[in-house]
Structure 1
């Protein structure tokens, strides 16, 4: 469907607004967790406020993607936004933790639909050549939310109360909904009238078990339950393979996994999930302990990473939309990120703070250069009736990589620091403020311990990106077409690509 340039711009603004809303909700709430759990009298269970949200947002991706293909992305988008806003209201009124977790699950489901349908809608109303530019604009929501979210969450909690962390979504979401209803056309679905109910149920159960296994494996008390969940996940995945091969309209179409472009993009999405989210989660702690800084100052390093990511994301999106060429950017990006993380591993303790800031900015530039381009590329390799499914699968792989990578690195850091700290210090209770209050000699020992533990972690993440470099080299070369999507794939080889340029 062809839209006027003005209508496309309004639509992109609306989709950017709701994408930012979903991304910001996650980072804002993280700052308020302790306050929320303390008011509700459930500090020991506060992690479930985030786990419930993440779990729903992850496991529902393929189901929502297939629903978008069947009934149309507009309907799924509007319903998802409605669920998100209603759940936000319910979160703010929560009288106890059970109510809050249930509302957060619904909120996570709505957030997943917003993110996924935003990407699918762009694919339905633009040509493959236009998509990288618009995907890059919508993709700015995540890095900006990383920087802004914790600050906004802290200010709202301190001055308005934690309920407004959720209620602030309502006026912003209604404004975004009004814009979307004006600009968003009625996109038809009906790709596969029959929905894969058995596959959806088995997949959801297997993925819930997998996420719980990854979440619980680091807790000694929950480790038996984690191993049980891991066994359930393996059985569920094997059963899913059998079901999907026989399904008339599988939730994860096997034909997608026979496409080399799709496979390469899924691999690159996994690299981003495994590497980027672990960096964002643990680098501030590393900087506070190894460089003896405050929490505020330690935030400069991830901010440098995010700014590099933001600039390269917008620049490469614009460049790919101009030329249609995309393969160079994942190759350069994975190589830059791998080199940057290897440099972080080699940095000696006691360097000035601007050094890791500059190095992590390089990592951000490398990651941002392909983090959203791969969505445009993977969509161009699929037929229109599979746009929702392939977009959902790409997001899903990223989420799984994030969950597994964060859990693994968290376990390594926890065990490593506990073993490396000098006698008399307990890693479980050693807060950054306590470390800064110690004697200079003890501070030095703590800094060396954290440096020595994180050096192999950075090296391992460098190896992850190096593997991504190999995957990027295997990504088939091509040029994104400037023709609007039809039922056939729209990424064409140079010999048959249209010669006219897109001016929208």
Structure 2
């Protein structure tokens, strides 16, 4: 009973963190317009994403020192206060500051939810609970934008943030009752301050550089940010090889499960999460679909991801088998994206919907299962670190690939558009109102520009097949959490 209450609490806060990223999307223009800062509208999202990404490895290391319970409760309290502050924002600077706090606390909620589950369940039980908690993300993608629009129209944009308060308070009450005491296992004197500082700087520089690179002309400041990040990451690796208690112990990656699982997590970010932002535009231009109808393709993708995530989590916990899911899932992802690359423009819309649903099914089949696998492959004290690492590489992969795709598509379309059409101002409505030959030509242009993008992402998933084949075969262990080992070896029993 207590474990079920705990799972309910963790699902609630995971849903809050995921929703706060998606529910704001339909309110951006309203918020920025009322606060008089339309030119900075994107920072409502960027500030949240940047903060949540940067803090992941720091929180993973802090979990060793403070324990998951303290970080979870502290993150939840800060998230509620930040949500309250967002709604009361009187100017844009205030809003961005509170959104950064929201992002930082959301990282703690996401990370500690997965870490706590790892601490209180066996590896055999873990996939089922990971799947339940992981369902928060696809559900938030499905309902977030719609719910955000309804709330903004009916109550005002402030309630997009204030709606977190009642659910968050309920989760806090459940957490105080159901959350076990999970103390830290490392000395605070061993915290890698130098590594954390350099890593934070490098990651911020990378994300800002990529964000600026998506602007026309590739501004020099973008190159400066990317170069600074590369130098910073090189320095970070040097620090980690010499630190007594490194923030990310590089020795973890000598473990086959950790190395393969981390690679697969990065491939998910590169291969699927990056393209979902561009699917509606692709469908609107290549298939002449309306804005509303174009949303059906990403919805089909996410729905496939949700269903397979829940099924494979249940199946892995029931049988203990796991090896086939990453292999089959990455194969489905690769095949689906290759099919999208070969698909001619103008096909019935159900065809790309079905293909992307297959990609979603393949990805969902191992997305959260990976977390359970790598958690069982490291000593218990490193659970927070490895959980942060697999989430971090997924987000970095998605961020980098999203920017690269944006630059590639913009350059490709601009170079192929016929005279009289400006890529910088071209809208789907403008194309739909044009003559039939123009519509057909634009559709062919977008199909030809996106084809190599889909092919490249399919190759990334094909590399995922190789990574999945490197995972050790066996069955998930039913030994109590932390009892089976204290060495960096997979907690599996051979079949």
Aligned to 2:70: 75
Take 1:95 and 1:204, find their aligned partners in 2: how far apart are those partners?
29
The yes-or-no answer on 1:491 pairing with 2:490 is yes
Take 1:293 and 1:455, find their aligned partners in 2: how far apart are those partners?
18
Aligned to 1:235: 231
Normalization by structure 2: what TM-score?
0.97
CA shift, 1:33, in A, is 1.1
The yes-or-no answer on 1:293 pairing with 2:285 is no
Aligned to 2:397: 401
Preserved contact between residue 477 and residue 493 of structure 2 (Cα < 8 Å): no
Take 1:237 and 1:347, find their aligned partners in 2: how far apart are those partners?
39
Preserved contact between residue 477 and residue 492 of structure 2 (Cα < 8 Å): no
Matches within 5 A, 1:197-236: 197-220=193-216, 223-236=219-232
Aligned to 2:92: 97
CA shift, 1:220, in A, is 4.1
Task: For residue 156 of structure 1, give the secondary structure of its aligned residue in structure 2.
Answer: helix
| Range moving further from structure 2, 212-221 or 444-453 | 212-221
Equivalent residue in structure 1 for 2:242, among 246, 249, 272: 246
Which runs of at least 4 in structure 1 moved beyond 4 Å after TM superposition?
none
Task: For residue 281 of structure 1, give the secondary structure of its aligned residue in structure 2.
Answer: coil
Take 1:350 and 1:201, find their aligned partners in 2: how far apart are those partners?
50
Aligned to 2:162: 167
CA shift, 1:253, in A, is 1.1
Task: For residue 122 of structure 2, give the secondary structure of its aligned residue in structure 1.
Answer: coil
Preserved contact between residue 192 and residue 249 of structure 1 (Cα < 8 Å): no
Aligned to 1:501: none
Aligned residues: 491
Equivalent residue in structure 2 for 1:427, among 423, 426, 434: 423
Matches within 5 A, 1:130-279: 130-193=125-188, 194-220=190-216, 223-279=219-275
Alpha-carbon RMSD across the aligned residues, in angstroms, is 1.4
The yes-or-no answer on 1:112 pairing with 2:97 is no
Task: For residue 185 of structure 1, give the secondary structure of its aligned residue in structure 2.
Answer: coil
CA shift, 1:222, in A, is 6.6
Take 1:285 and 1:292, find their aligned partners in 2: how far apart are those partners?
10
Preserved contact between residue 83 and residue 110 of structure 1 (Cα < 8 Å): yes
Take 1:460 and 1:244, find their aligned partners in 2: how far apart are those partners?
32
Preserved contact between residue 481 and residue 491 of structure 1 (Cα < 8 Å): no
| Range moving further from structure 2, 147-156 or 230-239 | 230-239
Normalization by structure 1: what TM-score?
0.95
CA shift, 1:156, in A, is 1.2
Take 1:337 and 1:257, find their aligned partners in 2: how far apart are those partners?
25
| Range moving further from structure 2, 15-24 or 446-455 | 446-455
Equivalent residue in structure 2 for 1:56, among 30, 51, 59: 51
Aligned to 2:314: 318
Task: For residue 491 of structure 1, give the secondary structure of its aligned residue in structure 2.
Answer: coil
